[in-house]
């Protein structure tokens, strides 16, 4: 891995194979015994290289369906790649409306599981548990399964775990666009504070003012392809052109 990098991905790609099952009734199944369901391929991520420097805040922009979420999930280890290699330096936590957390577990249980994945010991988690729940404003729901949480509640919990448990690399997906205004303001303050100073951040957002304010470099994606990766203002210009 090249020195000074937090993430180094080479020749990565991802294709999903989707079965178009029209045999959803008894009639369809009887009359289509010898006509199996069709399968289609979706190239979610075309072959690309992607690297992020340690301590850098990188923006990731593009229209819905462009491959942003697939790329973040691959870099965070949620999806395996079809091709290529990925090297990560440090612990990662994907904050994308609860992705990476178990929806069958309670908020309390997810705090312990997620923080353990980041390398924390039980006693260390005990020491920050109340702070995590208080910041996420989930005192009344701490022992509820998170499958009953709203998207805003999931985002608050995930963000609070990330900043309090000390992930080295954080993937923040529209974190400032969920929850109420009060929480958004609080999240921005924490984002800007010394809590995550020196952390590596990949910031996914449709809000260009946020991208422009925080990101040193920005990647613009289109149809699963990395169209541009560099100067943030240039990336935003391409994004705006694509939306007209």
- What is the Cα–Cα distance from 152 to 150, expressed in whole angstroms? 5
Supply 174's token pair: 């529209």
Locus of tokens 């994308």: 96
- What is the Cα–Cα distance from 232 to 135, expressed in whole angstroms? 31
Supply 211's token pair: 């991208």
Fold for 5-242, please state it.
Answer: Rossmann fold (3.40.50)
pLDDT of residue 236: 97
> What digits encode the pLDDT tens for the residues 141-185?
999 999 999 877 888 888 888 788 777 888 887 777 666 778 888
Put simply, whether the predicted model's pTM sits higher than 0.85 gets the answer no
Q: Where are the domains of the chain?
A: 5-242
């Amino acid at each position: 891995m090249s020195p000074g990098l937090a993430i180094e991905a080479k020749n990565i790609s991802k294709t999903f194979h989707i079965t178009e099952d029209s045999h959803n009734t008894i009639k369809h199944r009887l009359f289509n015994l010898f006509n199996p369901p069709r399968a289609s391929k979706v190239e979610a991520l075309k072959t690309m290289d992607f690297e992020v420097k340690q301590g850098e805040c990188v923006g990731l922009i593009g229209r819905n369906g462009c491959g942003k979420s697939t790329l973040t999930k691959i870099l965070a280890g949620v999806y395996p790649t079809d091709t290529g290699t990925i090297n990560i330096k440090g612990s990662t936590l994907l904050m994308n409306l609860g992705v990476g957390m178990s929806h069958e577990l309670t908020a309390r249980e997810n705090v312990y599981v997620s923080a353990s994945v980041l390398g924390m010991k039980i006693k260390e988690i005990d020491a920050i548990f109340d702070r995590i729940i208080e910041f996420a404003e989930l005192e009344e729901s701490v022992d509820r399964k998170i499958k009953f949480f709203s998207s805003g509640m999931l985002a608050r919990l995930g963000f609070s775990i990330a900043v309090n448990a000390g992930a080295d690399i954080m993937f923040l997906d529209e974190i400032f666009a969920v929850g109420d205004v009060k929480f958004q303001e609080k999240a921005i303050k924490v984002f800007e504070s010394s809590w995550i100073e020196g952390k590596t951040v990949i910031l996914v957002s449709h809000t260009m003012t946020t991208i422009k304010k925080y990101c040193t470099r920005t990647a613009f994606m289109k149809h699963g392809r990395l169209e541009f990766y560099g100067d943030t203002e240039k990336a935003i210009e391409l994004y705006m052109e694509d939306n007209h």
